[in-house]
């Protein structure tokens, strides 16, 4: 593992936790009943939810790649 990869690995747990917090917030916002009849707001919030979930997935995949190098 290179020096930069080691630094990335060392910070990965914190990055994953932060991404999971953003995902939880996006889920909460997407489930907000006050926007249930606002199609535009629903679409935006579900797009944010999708992006947050993709980021969590990407971080877990990268973490796994880095662990394989150890």
Dist CA 39 CA 49 (whole Å): 15
Give the CA dihedral 21, 23, 27, 32, nearest 10 degrees: 60
Write out the chain's pLDDT in tens, 70 residues: 899 999 999 999 999 999 999 999 999 999 999 998 999 999 999 999 999 999 999 999 999 999 999 8
Dist CA 35 CA 47 (whole Å): 14
Dist CA 23 CA 36 (whole Å): 19
- For residue 20, give the nearest of 68, 57, 66, 46 by alpha carbon: 57
What is the pTM for the complete model shown?
0.89
Q: Where are the domains of the chain?
A: 3-68
């Amino acid at each position: 593992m290179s020096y930069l990869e080691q630094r990335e690995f060392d910070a990965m747990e914190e990055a994953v936790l932060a991404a999971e917090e953003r995902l939880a917030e996006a889920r909460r916002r997407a489930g907000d009943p006050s926007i249930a009849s606002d199609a535009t707001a629903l679409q935006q919030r579900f797009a944010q939810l999708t992006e947050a979930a993709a980021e969590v997935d990407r971080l877990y995949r990268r973490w796994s790649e880095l662990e394989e190098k150890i």
